[in-house]
Amino acid sequence: MGKYRIAALPRLLPDGFFAAQVSIASGHGSASTDRVIRFDSAFSTHDAAADYALAQGIDWVHDSVRLSARPN
């Protein structure tokens, strides 16, 4: 998504549910950054956790871009 790479990283919990987490990366080489955001909610399927994580990642990028575009 633009200069950002967003990847859902659902993980299986011991109770059989899935936790949602998302990686938001940007940059290249030594100038790269990767932010991983974990969420408290548990989901019944891998796909549901992945969909939620992707949506949250996209929202984070939109908010970040909007804030950086604000005049000082």
Question: pTM of the prediction?
Answer: 0.84
pLDDT given at position 28: 86
At 66 the pLDDT is: 76
Q: What is the pLDDT of residues 10-63, one digit of tens each?
A: 999 999 999 999 999 999 888 889 999 999 999 999 999 999 999 999 999 999
∠ CA 37-67-9, nearest 5°, is 15
Give dist(CA 66, CA 23) in Å, integer: 19
Fold (topology level) of 4-68: Double Stranded RNA Binding Domain (3.30.160)
Hey, where are the domains in the chain?
4-68
